[in-house]
Chains A and B, each alone.
Chain A
Amino acid sequence: MEPLIRVENLCKDYQVTRRREGVWGGVVDLVKPRREILRAVDDVSFEIPAGEMVGYIGANGAGKSTTIKMLTGILTPTSGHVSVGGLVPWRDRTHYTRHIGAVFGQRTQLWWDLAVIESFHLLRKIYEVEEGAYRKQLDLFRELLGLDEFLHQPVRKLSLGQRMRCDLAAALLHGPRLLFLDEPTIGLDVVAKESVRVFLREIRDQLGVTVLLTTHDLGDIQQLCRRIVIIDHGKVIFDGEIDELRSRVGDRIKLTIELREAATSASLADVTGTMPVIWRAGDGLVHEVEFSRRDVRSAEVIRAVVNDRPVHDLRIEEQDIEEIVRGIYRRGDAKATDAADEGQEAGDA
C-alpha cells in the first residue's frame, strides 16, 4: 500500500558564512566572505503509513528540524523527493498546508498580541472550518488540554507550557490528518511534559492522526512511539521498532551488587566462572557486573554470587533507550566525521 509520507534521498544544504577572527578578519570578511556548504540533511529516505506515530530523534544539530521544515513546505530541498499523500509540500504549499498541522516548540504559530481564542477564530477563517466542526474540535481540546483558564489571555502572557498546549490545539483545529511536531516538549517541566504526552496519545487513539514527532527527549519516544528513525549528522542511522533496536544493540543488563565483606573484582570473576559476563572494578563493597540477556539469565548470575558471598543488596538495571541510542551514535559518528572532512568549499561567488 502506498505510504502517506514518502521521503526519498532527501538532502538539504545550507550556505554558511564562517567569520574570521579579529578586527582585520572582519574587514576581510566584508571583501571576501568565507562561504561553506553545510549538508544538514544527507540522503534521508523513509516512509510512514497512515495512522502511525513515528519518533524522529537525534542529538542537537542532527538535522531534525531541517527535515520537518522540508516536510511542511517551509524549505525547498536541495535534492531528493518528498511526497505526502501525493502532494509535494513546497510546490503545492498553499493547498498542502490546509491538510497538515505543525507545532514548532521553539516558535509559536499564534499571534503574539491576540487572545488565544481570537487566534483560534482567525485560524478558523483561514482554514475555512465549518462552525459545527470548529465547536466540536474546540470543546474536545478545551477538555483534553484544559485551555479554559487562559483562553482569553494574550499569547504573550502565557507560560511556555500553556503556550504549547494552545499551539497543539491551534495545529489541530482544522482537523488535519497529519501532524508534525518539532520538539513539542522542549523546555517544559515534568508536569507539562506529561500533559503533552497524554494529549498526543489521546489524539492518536481518538482522531487517528498520523504524527511525525521530533525530539531529543527519549521519554517522549518511549511513551508514544513504537517506531523510531534516528538521524545523526543528517544521515539515518536507524529506522525500526524500539524493540528491534534493543535487540540489535544487545539487550544489556547491569547488575549492581553490594557485599557485606569487601572483595576484588578478580575474585568475583572466579565466582561466575565461565559465564559470559563482565565485572567492572568496584570499591570493594559495591560491584557491577554486565551481561547480555541473550547470553545468560540474570537468575543464574545472581544465584552464583549469592551462593558464594554474603550479599547485602542487589539492583538490576536494564539499559535505557538513551544508552542504546548513544551506542548507535558512537558508531554513526565515525562515519559522519569522514563525510564532513570531504565537505567542499563553496567558492567566493
Chain B
Amino acid sequence: MHDRSGDNILPRRDTSWGRRLREPRRQGAIIAAYFAQFLKSRMSYRVDFVIDLTANLFSLGVQLTVLTVLFGKIDALRGWSYEQVLFIYGFSLLPLGLFNLVGVNLYNFSEQYIIEGNFDRVLLRPVNSLAQVMFSSFGINGLNELVLGSAVMIYAGGRYGLSFSAVDIMLLPVFAVSAALIFAGVFLGLTSVSFWFEDRMGLAPPVYNVIRFSRYPLTIFHPLVRALLTFVLPFAWVAFYPAAWFIGGEEFRLLALLTPLVGILTFTLAYVVWTRGSRRYTSTGS
C-alpha cells in the first residue's frame, strides 16, 4: 500500500552547504529577473520612458551648471580648498546614487505596502521580504548621480593633483557602497517605524534635508552638529570621512577606515527594526 505517513510533514529547511551556496545565486537570479521585468514594463509605457529619460538628462545638465556657478565663486571654505570641497561633494553623490537605485521603494512603502496591504503578497513569497520591496522597482535617476559624482570627482581630483594608489582605487567602491548602506540603514529605520504608527509619519523628508550637511567638510560646522552627524544620524560617514581619506589630513584616516563598519552596523540595526516591525504587520480588512 502507498505509504502516506510522509504526507503530513513538509521538508525541513535545507541547511546543506550545497543549498547555502545555491541560495545567493537564486536571489541574484530573481533580482535580475525583477530588473529585466521592470525595464520591460517601463518600456511598455514607451512615451513615459522617453520623457523620463529626457527629463533625467536635462536635470543632469542643470545640476552640472548650478555646480559650476556655485563653486566658481568659492575659493576656499575655512581652510578647505575649492578642489577639496568639490571632491567631497562629488563623492557624496556616489552613495546617494547607489541608494536611489533601489531606495525609492522605501519612500512610499507605508502607503503602498502597509496602508494598501500589498505587503501580503511580499510575505507570501519565499524570498527575503526586504529584498522584494527594495528590488520591486528601480530609481534609474540614481545613475545620474553616479555619473555626475564621478565626473565631479575626476575634475576636482585632477585640479588638486590627486594621485590614486592601487589601495585607493580598491577602497573607493568599498567606501561608496558602505556609505550607501548608511543611507539605506537610516531610511530603512525610518520606514520601519510605519509598522508601529500607521499614519504616515513624514519623517523622511526632514531627514533627507540633513543629507545636505553631509556634502560639506564637517569641520566647518559647530561641534554639536559634528557630533550629531557622527554619532546620531551618521551622515558624516556618508561623504566627509570617506572622502577625507583621499584628500584630507592624517587625522581623518582612521575614521575613514571605519566607514564600512558604520555602514554595516547602521544597516544591521535598521534590519532588526524592520524584522520586528514586519511581525506587527496587520494587513487590511477587505
Chain A residues in the interface with B (C-beta under 8 A): 1-4, 14-15, 49-51, 61, 65, 69, 72-76, 84-87, 90, 92-99, 102, 104, 106-107, 109, 111, 113-114, 118, 121-122, 125-128, 154, 177
Contact = CB atoms under 8 A, between A and B. Distances in A.
A69 B124 CA distance: 9
Given A85-B10, A125-B29, A128-B26, A98 B126 contact: yes
26 contacts: A1-B5, A2-B8, A2-B9, A4-B8, A61-B285, A69-B120, A73-B123, A73-B124, A74-B120, A75-B283, A84-B10, A85-B9, A86-B9, A94-B127, A96-B126, A99-B11, A106-B286, A107-B286, A111-B41, A114-B40, A114-B41, A121-B33, A122-B30, A125-B26, A127-B126, A177-B7
Contacts of A96: 10, 126
Contacts of B11: 99
Nearest to A110: B121
Contact of B283 (A61, A69, A95): A69
Given A72-B123, A75-B282, A111-B41, 14 more contacts: A14-B282, A49-B8, A51-B7, A61-B285, A74-B119, A75-B283, A85-B9, A86-B12, A99-B11, A109-B124, A122-B30, A125-B26, A125-B30, A177-B10
B65 interface: no
4 shortest A-B CB distances, which residue pairs? Answer: A85-B10, A50-B7, A113-B41, A98-B126
Contacts of B285: 61, 65
Contacts of A85: 8-10
Interface residues of B, number: 36
Contact of B279 (A51, A76, A106, A154): A76
A332 to B, nearest CB: 20
A84 B8 CA distance: 8
A90 B279 CA distance: 8
Contacts of A125: 26, 29-30, 33
B4 interface: yes
B10 A87 contact: yes
B20 to A, nearest CB: 13
A87 B12 CA distance: 8
Interface of B: 4-5, 7-13, 26, 29-30, 33-34, 37, 40-41, 44, 117-121, 123-128, 279-283, 285-286
Contacts of A121: 33
Query: For B7, B29, B44, B128, which residue has the most chain A Cβ atoms within 10 angstroms?
Result: B7
A222 B118 CA distance: 32
Given A14-B282, A75-B283, A50 B4 contact: yes
Given A4-B7, A75-B282, A92-B13, A109 B37 contact: no
A26 B61 CA distance: 47
B120 A107 contact: yes
A125 B27 CA distance: 9
A106 B5 CA distance: 35
A278 to B, nearest CB: 40
Nearest to A176: B10
A4 B128 CA distance: 25
B41 A97 contact: no
A342 B84 CA distance: 68
Given A69-B120, A113-B44, A94 B128 contact: yes
B203 to A, nearest CB: 17
Nearest to B282: A14
A122 B44 contact: no
A120 to B, nearest CB: 12
B141 to A, nearest CB: 20
Contacts of B9: 2, 85-86
A61 B8 CA distance: 31
Contacts of A94: 126-128
A36 B12 CA distance: 39
Given A65-B286, A111-B37, A125-B33, A97 B8 contact: no
A125 B127 CA distance: 11
Nearest to B132: A126
Contacts of B30: 122, 125-126
Contacts of B4: 50-51
Contacts of A177: 7, 10
B160 to A, nearest CB: 47
Given A51-B7, A118-B37, A126 B282 contact: no
Query: For B40, B279, B281, B285, which residue has the most chain A Cβ atoms within 10 angstroms?
Result: B285
A76 B26 CA distance: 27
